A and B are shown apart, each in its own frame.
Chain A
Amino acid sequence: MLRILQFLYSLRSFLLFVLLEVLAIGLIVSNNSPQGAAFFNSSNALIGSVLKTRSDILDFFSFAQANETLIRENALLLEQIKALNQEPDSLPIPLDSAFEAQFQFTGARVISNSLRFAQNHLTLNKGSKDGLKPGMGIFNQDGIVGRVKSVSENYAVGISLLNTGLLVSSKIKSTENFGSVNWDGKSSKQAKMLYVPRHVRAQAGDTIVTSGFNAVFPEGIRIGIISSVNQGDDPNYLDILIDLSTDFSRVNYVYLVENTQIVELDSLYIKSEVVNEF
């Protein structure tokens, strides 16, 4: 018995090494599974405050650009308001109030972002105190950015679109054919559109927008433009490469969208035994 203990003691560094590696691998797996609760991440209050200070300093250098995009977007919104405020030439039909309030929007600032890894995340400066919830969609004026993964009181962590684990339900704007956008982990400017059948006439230059099927994003938020369509290896689906419209290296301010009816939709799916995989 003593000799066994002595033997184990002589191996102590190796055993400790194996133990810690297993622990680390367990953490990696639990962090990357979609349902797994993330124990440690940058939504922690202390870590969030460090990241926020860093971003406060760095943001100082990008104010001019942020202002410019805001002005551009304001102009766009003004244009839309003008169109909406036109004198009606016919009797308007009031929309169902439940439908009108299906999506709620809020804004936040990105205090930390990465784009060089295969699993990229971003940290936002708002949390459950401001009404953020896991599962909300994140986008900015150019296109979609990602999805909220976990929320603390003051901060939230989102999965970036540049994360090989995130699928976004999308469609080709002109032909209405839908598929899923998924990042292939290569360039931070390009992603793949999956599950588009071979008979679809997709062309380079077509716009890809969100389809609104997965109840995270409303319909019609830009994702990107098709850069090339190849026949690919898969016998059923086209191999479509898209240029993302969001420049992930300068995502500063983002909007968040919440589907207020997601609980109802989900329970309906469960009741009718539909697996919504998009």
Chain B
Amino acid sequence: MNFKNFITYTLLLLFLGLIQIIFLKNLALFGVAFCFLYLLGILNLPIPISHVPLILISFGLGLAVDIFYDTIGIHAASATLMSFLRPYWLKAISPTGGYDDSAKPNLPEMGIVWYMSYSLPLIFAFSLVFFTADQWGTGGFFGVLNKSFLSSIFTVILAIIVQLLFFKRRREIR
């Protein structure tokens, strides 16, 4: 983690946060599928990042998005849970022999199958907490489940598209 990386990740988080609050706030496909693209910023942080800063970054980012959404605390709570689960999930799906030291958990480096199995459950956990907190005491459990499932699929699809379009593929030596 050098200084250049630090700047890159900060800019990525800021940029994704801005996209989220400016364009994606009121976007909901068919009224059920929401998009939480800013989670891409948390998911793409380097693998060896230690747990405490990861949780703090997610909480801060969630709180910042919350203020614009007027849902104070909901994004923060869900993002904190997601970042808490992230290292355990990374360990659970690690390939045989473990990760490379320089490996980053993003699409161009790890391939689409790994990336989906990495991001989908984490984003689903996020959405589940998010919609449970949002619909507390009103909607039934089925509505929450439905929204979480569709939202996580939509978010993963958009995250994959964004990475295909904008993330540079590392030059491979064949």
Contacts and interface: CB of A to CB of B under 8 A. Distances in A.
Interface of A: 12-14, 16-17, 20-21, 23-28, 31, 38-42, 44, 47, 50-51, 54, 112-119, 121, 123, 157, 164, 184-186, 188
7 contacts: A17-B84, A24-B59, A31-B73, A40-B66, A50-B68, A112-B25, A188-B31
Interface string B58-74: 01001100111111111
Interface stretch (B112-120, B130-138, B156-164): B130-138
A54 B58 CA distance: 25
A186 B63 CA distance: 26
Interface residues of B, number: 35
Interface of B: 21-22, 25-26, 28, 31, 34, 51-52, 55-56, 59, 62-63, 66-74, 76-77, 80-81, 84, 133-139
Nearest to B70: A121
Given A17-B84, A28-B72, A123-B70, 20 more contacts: A13-B55, A20-B55, A20-B56, A23-B73, A31-B73, A38-B72, A40-B67, A40-B72, A41-B72, A42-B70, A50-B21, A112-B70, A114-B26, A116-B26, A117-B69, A117-B134, A119-B134, A121-B71, A164-B138, A186-B139
Which of B70, B74, B81: most chain A CB closer than 10 A?
A: B70
B68 A42 contact: yes
B164 to A, nearest CB: 27
B71 A119 contact: yes
B36 to A, nearest CB: 13
